[in-house]
Amino acid sequence: MRHLVSLRDWGREEIWEALELSLHLKRELRAGGNRPLLKGKTLGLIFQKPSLRTRVSFEVGMNQLGGRALYLGPEEIRLGERETVEDVARVLSRYVDGLMARVFGHEIVEELARFAEVPVINGLSDLEHPCQILGDLLTIYEKRRRLEGLKLAFIGDGNNVAHAWLAGGPKLGVSVTIACPEGYEPKEEFVEHAKAQGAGAKVEVVHDPEEAARGADILYTDVWASMGQEAELERRRRAFRGFQINERLIGLAKPDCLVMHCLPAHYGEEITYEAAHSPNSVIYDQAENRLHGQKGVLALLLA
């Protein structure tokens, strides 16, 4: 039994296996076919925080694979309050064939995986967002037909999405530069893990967005304040001023660079509306590929 708690736990071959399966399933779907690989299987969806893309993509993905998804919102479970995480994991393992958890604390996903008797997928935690990056890698591969040798500039907060890029990108040869204000760097453990992958990828953290953007193949950003950080919003707006993907920054990257955002976007903050809807933008392609990328993971772990 395998879990997807962190991309640090997956090797290069496992990530490629998931991506190739995702691409195959996407092509089958576009050709009018749907293989019921998960017929009779049920995925439990544990949500501590809401999401448009995560819920819809997992529910539709399970449906397309012949299975079904069961939504379990905050009031149904109240993890760690009404019941312990261990009890929830052990009980749900008797009912469903897999669990997806979108939670605040990463330790909850780790605890679910420790006690569950079915595969557990991290749909997002405060530490990492592996499903997002698998969909992003799929998008980049479709657009460029390669990953190795590309440079990604992540402009903004060293958050869970930045951590997931550090965990997964360098393993496939993608160089990752994180450009963030001082005090908002990604955790050093993720930086060191990325540097140790030895796939020819360069990993660095800088404090100048223009330095990061020069010659980049991909410009990537996320919101300045994630869900749960609303009290810090004004302070973060001041700290992140200038860390914005706009037409000027796009002009520093390669002419055919891809502009990416995991959404939802706050236009005028981390990205301008014009940049997000420019010819370079692939934000809706990557949103769609959350569906296909997760179908690959589901087929890999649950079939």
Positions marked catalytic: 102, 129, 132, 222, 262, 290
- Is 283 strand, coil or helix? helix
The identity of residue 303, as a single letter, is: A
State how far the Cα of 112 lies from the Cα of 79, in Å rounded to an integer.
10
Task: For residues 45 and 139, give the distance between their C-alpha atoms in angstroms, rounded to a whole number.
Answer: 25
Phi-psi category of residue 64: left, alpha or beta, with phi > 0 → left and psi -120 to 50 → alpha: alpha
Are 73 and 19 in contact, with CB atoms under 8 Å apart?
no
Q: What b/e readout covers 33-69, taking b as 16+ CB neighbours within 10 angstroms?
A: eeeebbeebbbbbbbbbebebbbebbbebbebbebeb
- Of the CA atoms within 13 Å of residue 214, those in its CB half-sphere come to 4
**Phi-psi label, residue 38: left if phi above 0, alpha if psi -120 to 50, beta otherwise:** alpha
Between CA 123 and CA 121 the distance in angstroms is: 6
Alpha-carbon gap, residue 226 to 233, rounded angstroms: 9
Region of residue 136 (left: phi > 0; alpha: psi -120 to 50; beta: else)? alpha
- Cβ atoms of 69 and 45 closer than 8 Å: yes
Q: Which residue has the tokens 């919102």?
A: 73
Smallest CA-to-CA distance from 229 within 131, 154, 157 is with 157
For residue 62 the two structure tokens come to 């399970």
